[in-house]
Amino acid sequence: MTGGFVPEADLHTHTVASTHAYSTITENCTYAAQIGVKCIALTDHGMAMPDSPHVWHIENMRILPRKICGVTVLKGVEANILDYEGRLDVPEKHLAGVEWLVASYHRYYMENFSVADPKTVTDGYLKLFERYNVDLVGHPTIKNFPADWDILVKAAKERGILLELNESSVATGKSPKENVRAMLAACKKYGCSVSVDSDAHFWSAIAKVPLSERILSEADFPSELVVNADIGRLREWVHKKHPDIEI
């Protein structure tokens, strides 16, 4: 997987609905169409993030067309995992209309935060999986939330949940490369699929994943386990959990 890899879908992107991002959904889709990306997930933050959109943003995503500028839009949210009991910051009644649920740990809203041990973090993920129909674990490789990869990867595979290789977290140093390599090694060992995403907060970052591409190549990671590399593969994956969604 070398030579300017551009995934055919980007399953973790943000818009001005989260005010630390700087592009509209139309701007994101316009650029995605220009570079050949066929699908993006609209995943602005859940309500624990200080500048998150109002819950009406989540409720009203139904008005968006399935395609914008020819690009399929999955109407989603990046919900914050609130604690190690696996609770999310988006009430379940508001998740009913969400098509793509990304769940991520962030330290910002945890009072008196300190780095937990891998068992505590991993138990939090397992409880999360029991509570919610998660589609994607956002940036699980970040150093503030170390995981037990054997346990997490096996659980994700069993439940059909994607683990994310997040370009932004690698680029900013939040995800040390050794963490990413360890996750990929476990995914390769157990046949667990991943999604390689930009976590774009501006349109020009959509599907830009050069650091992730390099790590995948170094790890000799099987291309068939990168679900969003191919739109047909993604379509098949999504239809298993969301048969009513057309991609």
Mean pLDDT of 33-60: 94
Q: Is 208 left (phi over 0), alpha (psi -120 to 50) or beta?
A: beta
pLDDT of residue 82: 93
Closest CA to 225 of 153, 175, 168: 153
pTM above 0.75, yes or no: yes
98 pLDDT above the threshold of 90: yes
Per DSSP, 96 falls in state T
Band the pLDDT of 1: cuts 50, 70, 90: low
Closest CA to 35 of 198, 245, 240, 224: 198
pLDDT of residue 112: 77
Dist CA 231 CA 187 (whole Å): 21
Per DSSP, 81 falls in state B
pLDDT of residue 108: 78
48 pLDDT above the threshold of 90: no
Q: What is the pLDDT of residues 190-202, one digit of tens each?
A: 999 999 999 999 9
Fold for domain 9-241? TIM Barrel (3.20.20)
Q: What is the mean pLDDT of the chain?
A: 95
Interacting residues of 28 by C-beta distance below 8 A, sequence separation 6+: 13, 15, 40, 42, 200, 203, 206
Who has greater pLDDT, 162 or 113?
162
Q: What is the pLDDT of residues 125-148, one digit of tens each?
A: 999 999 999 999 999 999 999 999
Q: What is the pLDDT of residues 60-91, one digit of tens each?
A: 999 999 999 999 999 999 999 999 999 999 99
Domain map of the chain by residue range? 9-241
Report which residue type is found at 173.
Answer: G
pLDDT of residue 107: 85
Mean pLDDT of 234-247: 96
pLDDT of residue 3: 55
